[in-house]
């Protein structure tokens, strides 16, 4: 009898496994991908290029590795790149401060020093589905759970590339939650012969893969770690910008890992990506996880039948080698850097290098124009005169010395006086000014050594200075950090209404892995300002303190592509840079999505167009991209309400360039702009076109 019962249980278990239903109602085979069943395996094939295919063999039996086999063809014959792998996720759950400042837009939070706990995400294979989403195929396997978070695994393969994404898509009901996640692929079998990466000096490193290798956090360049087998390489890397929560520094905090026993929660051997819980030891806000939001804890994998250095070259293509590429008719500009080179080196009696390291960091990243934010802490912005003027002179001299015909280093400050909150100033030439004036002192004087010197007492003086010297000002990190409540609090002030108040700056604060775009905080403000009736603009900012070669700079960088054919000469002033900014003739990007051309009825960004009476409008947009695109959005407003029209772009393949024509109706609208976002939540947005 006992023998019979055991036999019945074994048979019942086999039937349960064999009968696990895979919902294929959402799958459409016409795009080149195929799916099939083979026992407990689900086999997914997809066109990885014009001539080659990728294959994932997924085991749907509990207790067995999810990735039974990962393959890529070479000259038509499949090569097994890896096998017997499981995705591994570690979710660290902490507490978000929603009370003391500005709710979910908080930056000044130290979640790392509040109670938190890490959990291994557990997978229980209960059901599966396969869905076609444009040119990609998504396999969803339920259920996953960690603490109060529940959800499913989603595996997405992308036609046209040996690229796939693995995500634990999870939500919690608990309010005030902040999270971080680490992830990767693990195995109990000798899958890889070696582990490889590029070190921070851009040199390939390679070590033997040993199952008993103690876990190690590893600093790398390009955010990528690679498992190398007999027949090829598998590269693991994060979304290049979305994965990195906002910090004041871009330190390389060992963002990958390899070995066994990761965080004492993942016993098997593996490779993956990680976040440092302590961040840069300043303000460490982690990632928002509002209740019921679908947080995508995800990483990318790229397959190659070649050696690891060639696999890494393919990964680097997605970020143009961490460089902002040349676009004809544009120059790249990045803003808001607290290098403090003037105070920390030039005036600190230290040897002044012929070319400081930060200059090469910018040049190697393809940044043509750098707008600094010096004296943010050090220095004497309010005087005494002798120190303040000496500091400005040193700043101007170094900017002139380090500027060349293809690189402009331009002075700027974050004054944080007079207007409210934090803001940046930008003058088109060296201007000597002191951020204090007693009642008996004149607004402007002539100094025998420095020439014209301004002294500023209040917001009226500051606006007058901007007008006289044709400068610009804008809200830094609007609606967060030291600008919480701004520019909203001064939107009716004369200085804000002035043409010399440019608008605001955009950076990915806060981080939220459920969002399909970065920094909705500032994009919403951009639309609000337009509906307030002001022709303001939004420029990209980085707001970081040090720029060293070993830093993970690209993850925290973003740029503005200004419509400039050539750079002005520093000695002649850089008024053309400010003119283009003021006119709104630029687009903002993380770097992977580019807009070589954009127009609304033939008019470009920052211009005004008269619409036909029926409101029918043609928007032309040329897009250049790396990761496959997800959507475009036409955003418009009528002075009160913001309207969004989403255009699905999931049919796009990786590495494309296309001219899109969007036909829409803008009757009654006063302005319009366009955003485009990709599968890694990289994106770009135009400035407004104003409508009549």
Check whether residue 419 and residue 297 sit in a common domain: no
Q: Which of 661, 474, 677, 679 is nearest to 588 (CA)?
A: 677
**CATH number where 671 lies:** 2.60.40.770
From the list 584, 512, 676, the residue with the least C-alpha distance to 171 is 512
Q: What pLDDT digit, counting tens, does each position of 422-456 carry?
A: 999 999 999 999 999 999 999 999 999 999 999 99
Tell me what the mean pLDDT of segment 550-569 comes to. 97
Paired sense of beta strands 472-475 and 501-506, if any: parallel
Inform me whether the pLDDT recorded for 659 exceeds 80: yes
Given a contact cutoff of 8 angstroms between Cβ atoms, the answer to whether 68 and 41 are in contact is yes
Domain for residue 345, yes or no? yes
Q: Express each pLDDT in 249-277 by its tens digit.
A: 999 999 999 999 999 999 999 999 999 99
Going by pLDDT thresholds of 50, 70 and 90, the confidence category of residue 16 is: very low
Strand-strand pairing, 608-609 and 689-691: parallel
18, 169, 239, 266, 296 from 149: Cα distances, Å = 29, 9, 22, 18, 12
The pLDDT score that the predictor gives to residue 72 is 98
Nearest CA-CA partner of 165 in 173, 174, 156: 156
pLDDT beyond 50 at 575: yes
Q: What does the alpha-carbon distance between residue 492 and residue 529 come to, in Å, rounded to a whole number?
A: 11
Q: Is the pLDDT of residue 2 over 50?
A: no
The residue-averaged pLDDT of 392-421 equals 97
Q: How many CA atoms lie within 13 A of 128 on its CB side?
A: 26
User: Could you tell me the two tokens for 376?
Assistant: 């943010």
Work out the pLDDT band at 321, boundaries 50, 70, 90: very high
Question: For the chain, what is the mean pLDDT?
Answer: 96
Of the residues 570, 591, 612, which one is the last residue of a structural domain? 591
Helix residue ranges per DSSP H, 180-296: none
Across the range 109-120, mean pLDDT stands at 95
- The residue count of the chain comes to 692
Rounded distance, CA 669 to CA 689, Å? 11
Mean pLDDT value across residues 458-479: 98
Asked, for residue 97, whether it belongs to a domain, the answer is: yes
612 and 524 belong to one structural domain: no
CATH of the domain at 296: 2.70.98
One domain for residues 582 and 604: no
Q: How many whole angstroms separate alpha carbon 270 and alpha carbon 211?
A: 8
Beta bridge partners of 237: 300
Residue 326's CB is within 10 A of a number of other CB atoms, namely 12
Q: What is the DSSP code (8-state) at residue 417?
A: -
Tell whether 363 and 472 lie within a shared domain. yes
Q: pLDDT by residue (tens digit) across 227-249?
A: 999 999 999 999 999 999 999 99
Residues linked to residue 337 through DSSP beta bridges, in sequence order: 372, 544
| In a shared domain, residues 562 and 626 | no
Tell me the β-bridge partners of 301. 164, 236
Confidence of residue 29 (pLDDT cuts 50, 70, 90): confident
Chain-centre distance for alpha carbon 468: 37
Residues 346 and 227 in one domain: no
HEC sequence for 443-492: CEEEECCCEEEEECCCHHHHHHHHHHCCCEEEECCCCCHHHCCCCHHHCC
Q: What is the CA radius of gyration of the chain?
A: 27
Give the whole-angstrom CA distance, residue 509 versus residue 285. 9
Instruction: Evaluate whether residue 14 is within a structural domain.
Output: no
Number of domains within the chain: 3
Q: What distance in Å separates the CA atoms of residue 651 and residue 638, rounded to the nearest whole number? A: 31
Measuring CA to CA, which residue among 484, 399, 394, 383 is closest to residue 441? Answer: 383
Tell me: do 185 and 334 sit in the same domain. no
Considering the domain boundaries, does residue 684 fall inside one? yes
Q: Is 639 left (phi over 0), alpha (psi -120 to 50) or beta?
A: left
> Looking at the structure, do residues 509 and 576 belong to the same domain, yes or no?
yes
User: Residue 603 and residue 609: Cα distance in Å, rounded?
Assistant: 6
| Residue pLDDT, tens place only, 352-371 | 999 999 999 999 999 999 99
Token output for 499? 């043409």
Residue 10: the pLDDT is 38
| Residue 185 lies in domain | 22-318
Residue 409 forms part of a structural domain:
yes
Helix, strand, coil fractions of the chain, as percent rounded to 5: 15, 40, 40
pLDDT of residue 95 exceeding 70: yes
Distance (Å, whole) CA 660 – CA 674: 12
Closest by Cα among 680, 327, 671, 356 to 530: 671
Token readout for 561 is: 């592509």
197-213 tens-digit pLDDT: 999 999 999 999 999 99
> What 3-state DSSP class applies to 580?
helix
Residues 308 and 378 in one domain: no
Above 90 in pLDDT, residue 676?
A: yes
Whether 396 has a pLDDT exceeding 60, the answer reads: yes
Q: Check residue 12 and give its pLDDT.
A: 37
In a domain, 325, yes or no: no
> Taking 50 as the threshold, does the pLDDT of residue 122 lie above it?
yes
Instruction: Give me the mean pLDDT over the 586-614 stretch.
Output: 97
d(Cα 613, Cα 92) in Å, to the nearest integer?
A: 55
Question: Span 272-296, mean pLDDT?
Answer: 97
Residue 193 domain-assigned?
Answer: yes
Last residue of a domain, one of 572, 591, 610: 591
- DSSP tag of 343: I
Last residue of a domain, one of 292, 318, 344: 318
Interior/surface letters 447-468, b for 16+ CB within 10 angstroms, e for the rest: eeebeebbbbbebebbbbbbee
Give the CATH number, domain containing residue 363: 3.20.20.140
Q: Is the pLDDT of residue 7 over 50?
A: no
The two beta strands, 53-59 and 67-74, are antiparallel
Judge whether 82 lies within some domain.
Answer: yes
Question: Taken in order 466, 374, 323, 295, is the CA torsion positive or negative?
Answer: negative
Q: What are phi and psi of 345, to 5 degrees?
A: -125, -60
* CB 144 within 8 Å of CB 154: no
| Residues 296 and 167 grouped into a single domain | yes
**Same domain for 210 and 184?**
yes
Rounded CA-CA distance 379/394 in Å is 11
Angle, vertex CA 671, rays to CA 670 and CA 672, nearest 5: 140
Evaluate whether 195 touches 206 at the Cβ level (below 8 Å).
yes
Distance of CA 69 to the CA centre of its chain: 32
569 and 621 housed in the same domain: no
Q: Please name the helix (run of DSSP H) or strand (run of DSSP E) that holds residue 385, with its range, or none.
A: helix 385-402
**How many Cβ atoms are within 10 Å of 178's Cβ, its own excluded?**
27
Task: Look at residue 159 in the predicted model and tell me its pLDDT.
Answer: 98
Calculate ∠ Cα 628-631-636, nearest 5°.
150
Report the alpha-carbon distance of residue 504 to residue 473 in Å, rounded: 9
Residue 15 confidence class, pLDDT cut points 50, 70, 90 = very low
- Burial degree of 230 (CB within 10 A; 0-12, 13-18, 19+): exposed
């Amino acid at each position: 009898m006992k023998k019979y019962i055991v036999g019945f249980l074994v048979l019942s278990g086999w039937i349960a496994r064999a009968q696990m239903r895979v919902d294929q109602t959402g799958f459409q085979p016409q795009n080149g991908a195929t799916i099939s069943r083979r026992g407990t395996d689900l086999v997914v094939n997809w066109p990885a290029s014009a001539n080659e295919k990728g294959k994932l063999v997924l085991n749907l039996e509990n207790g067995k590795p999810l990735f039974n086999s990962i393959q890529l063809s070479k000259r038509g014959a499949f090569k097994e790149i890896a096998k017997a792998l499981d995705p591994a996720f570690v979710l660290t759950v902490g507490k978000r401060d929603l009370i003391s400042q500005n709710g979910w837009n908080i930056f000044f939070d130290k979640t790392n020093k509040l109670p938190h706990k890490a959990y291994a995400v557990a997978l229980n294979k209960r059901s599966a589905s396969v869905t076609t989403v444009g040119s990609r195929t998504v396999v969803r396997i339920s259920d996953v759970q960690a603490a109060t978070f529940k959800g499913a695994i989603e595996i997405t393969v992308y036609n046209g590339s040996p690229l796939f994404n693995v995500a634990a898509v999870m939500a919690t009901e608990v309010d005030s939650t902040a999270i971080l996640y680490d992830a990767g692929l693990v195995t109990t079998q000798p899958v890889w012969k070696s582990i490889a990466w590029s070190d921070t000096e851009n040199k390939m490193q390679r070590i033997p893969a040993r199952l008993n290798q103690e876990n190690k956090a590893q600093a790398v360049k390009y955010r990528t770690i690679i498992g190398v087998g007999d027949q090829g390489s598998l590269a693991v890397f994060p979304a290049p910008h979305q994965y990195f929560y906002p910090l004041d520094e871009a330190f390389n905090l060992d963002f990958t890992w390899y070995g066994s026993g990761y965080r004492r929660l993942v016993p098997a051997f593996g490779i993956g990506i990680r976040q440092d819980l302590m961040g840069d030891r300043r303000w460490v806000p982690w990632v928002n996880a509002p209740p019921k939001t679908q947080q995508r804890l995800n990483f990318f994998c790229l397959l190659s039948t070649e050696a690891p250095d060639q696999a890494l070259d393919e990964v680097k293509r997605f970020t143009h080698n961490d460089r902002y590429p040349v676009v004809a008719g544009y120059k790249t500009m990045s803003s808001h850097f607290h290098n403090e080179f003037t105070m920390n080196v030039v005036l600190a009696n230290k040897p002044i290098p012929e070319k400081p390291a930060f200059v090469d960091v910018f040049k190697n990243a393809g940044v043509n124009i750098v707008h600094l934010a010096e004296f943010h802490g050090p220095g004497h912005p309010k005087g005494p005169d002798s120190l303040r003027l000496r500091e400005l002179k040193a700043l101007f001299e170094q900017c002139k010395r380090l500027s060349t015909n293809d690189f402009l280093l331009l002075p700027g400050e974050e004054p944080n006086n007079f207007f409210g909150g934090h803001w940046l100033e930008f003058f088109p030439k060296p201007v000597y000014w002191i951020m204090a004036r007693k009642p008996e002192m004149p607004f402007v004087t002539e100094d025998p050594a420095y020439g014209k010197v301004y002294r500023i007492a209040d917001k009226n003086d500051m606006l007058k200075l901007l007008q006289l010297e044709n400068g610009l000002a804008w809200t830094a990190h609007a609606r967060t950090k030291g600008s919480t409540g701004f520019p909203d609090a001064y939107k009716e002030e004369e200085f804000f209404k002035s043409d010399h108040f440019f608008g605001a700056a955009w950076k990915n604060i806060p981080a939220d892995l459920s969002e399909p775009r970065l920094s909705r905080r500032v994009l919403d403000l951009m639309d609000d300002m337009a509906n307030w009736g002001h022709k303001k603009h939004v420029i990209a900012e980085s707001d970081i303190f040090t720029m060293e070669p070993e830093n993970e700079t690209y993850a925290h960088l973003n740029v503005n592509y200004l419509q400039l054919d050539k750079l002005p000469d520093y000695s002649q002033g850089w008024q053309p840079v400010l003119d283009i900014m003021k006119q709104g003739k630029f687009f903002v990007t993380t770097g992977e999505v580019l807009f070589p051309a954009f127009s609304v009825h033939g008019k470009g960004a920052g211009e005004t167009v008269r619409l036909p009476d029926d409101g029918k409008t043609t928007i032309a947009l040329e897009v250049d991209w790396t990761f496959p695109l997800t959507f475009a959005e036409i955003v418009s407003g009528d002075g009160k309400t913001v309207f969004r029209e989403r255009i699905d772009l999931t049919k796009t393949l990786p590495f494309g360039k296309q001219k899109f024509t969007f036909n829409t109706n803008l009757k009654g609208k006063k302005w319009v702009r366009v955003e485009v976002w990709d599968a890694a939540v990289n994106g770009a947005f135009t400035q407004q076109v104003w409508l009549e």
